[in-house]
Structure 1
Amino acid sequence: MTVPLARRAHPEDLPRVAELAAEHAAYEKAAPPPADLAVRLHRLLFDTEAPRLRCLVAELPDGTVAGYATCAPELSTWDAAEYLHMDCLYLTETARGHGLGALLMAAIRAEARTLGLTLIQWQTPTWNDGAIRFYDRLGATSKEKRRYSLPVD
């Protein structure tokens, strides 16, 4: 391989994806993922006939996984239609600015097409100016909202 590529994650990529997810959480000033994240991801991605989650990785020419993106189909009540929700897109600091984000976004778009979906939605922190500029350059539009979470127990 002489050029970077975006591809679907393989089971052997999951320890690296878990490392990247921990970096991503720290970057976004969030709590770290659980220690068994790679095992949990394996269950969601590979231990079922109809995986709920999809994971794509950005691979450098030397084989290093330098980033990842995850997505899953979701529903919009207002549109009465499914869309693809991109939950994460993260590249290591040294991998940013080299076209890998665009490769991952193209792979996410291809995933949406494969699923027969016509829209992708995601969110990014309001302070993440680099990501906002990147998404704006792609032609994406944004809406101001707050994201809430509520523990069940």
Structure 2
Amino acid sequence: MTGAQASVRRARPGDLPEVARLAAEHAAFEKADPPPPGLADRLHALLFAAATPRLRCLVAERVDATLVGYATCEPAISTWDGYEYLHMDCLYLRPGHRGLGLGPLLMNAVAAEARALGIAEIQWQTPVWNDGAIRFYRRLGARSKDKLRFTWPASPSDPVGQ
């Protein structure tokens, strides 16, 4: 399959159950916990419930209408630089659909979202062990920064300093 046999478009509400399955596959690929139940409903609220959606989702679709990948992104702000950037949270293609030109199609669609929002830069992260993704992003001309990503619950059982 090549890019000519697939296309990228914005997700529609009916795509969300399959996007949720893709997200679960993505989590398993990255050796992370699976998404909690109800992901499709939560995505619907982020993508379609507000006049200005907080999240954008693009899907890679074969000519037979099978979804084989997705990318999600949302505007964020760099305090250090004092500008907005588009944060690409996820980019995932099912095994067997990588290396066929769909990754560049998804990246170009993410870049088009950034341009439509008047945003000049896209940022994202990938696991340090994901050599295939790192090679792909470097071929695009992307540069990496060494940082660790932390998570912390907004309601810790023991607030800091108390």
Q: Tell me the TM-score normalized by structure 2.
A: 0.92
When the two chains are superposed, the root-mean-square deviation of aligned CA atoms in Å is: 0.7
Cα offset, 1:151, TM superposition:
1.0
Write the letter of the residue equivalent to 2:37. Answer: A
Cα offset, 1:152, TM superposition:
1.7
Which structure 1 segments of 5+ residues have no match? none
| 1:64 aligned onto 2:66 | yes
**Equivalent residue number for residue 135 of structure 2:** 133
**Equivalent residue number for residue 24 of structure 1:** 26
**Equivalent residue number for residue 36 of structure 1:** 38
1:1-150 maps to which residues of 2 (within 5 A)?
3-150=5-152
Write the letter of the residue equivalent to 2:100. Answer: H
1:29 & 1:100 partners in 2: Cα distance?
23
SS in 2 for 1:22: helix
Percent of pairs identical after alignment?
66
1:132 & 1:55 partners in 2: Cα distance?
22
Write the letter of the residue equivalent to 2:92. Answer: Y
> How many matched pairs?
152
SS in 1 for 2:54: coil
Cα offset, 1:3, TM superposition:
2.5
Find the structure with the greater CA-based Rg: 2
1:151 & 1:89 partners in 2: Cα distance?
24
SS in 1 for 2:88: strand
SS in 1 for 2:107: helix
1:75 & 1:36 partners in 2: Cα distance?
28
Which structure 2 segments of 5+ residues have no match? 156-162
Moved over 6 A (4+): none
SS in 1 for 2:60: strand
Q: Tell me the TM-score normalized by structure 1.
A: 0.98
2:52 & 2:34 partners in 1: Cα distance?
28
1:35 & 1:133 partners in 2: Cα distance?
33
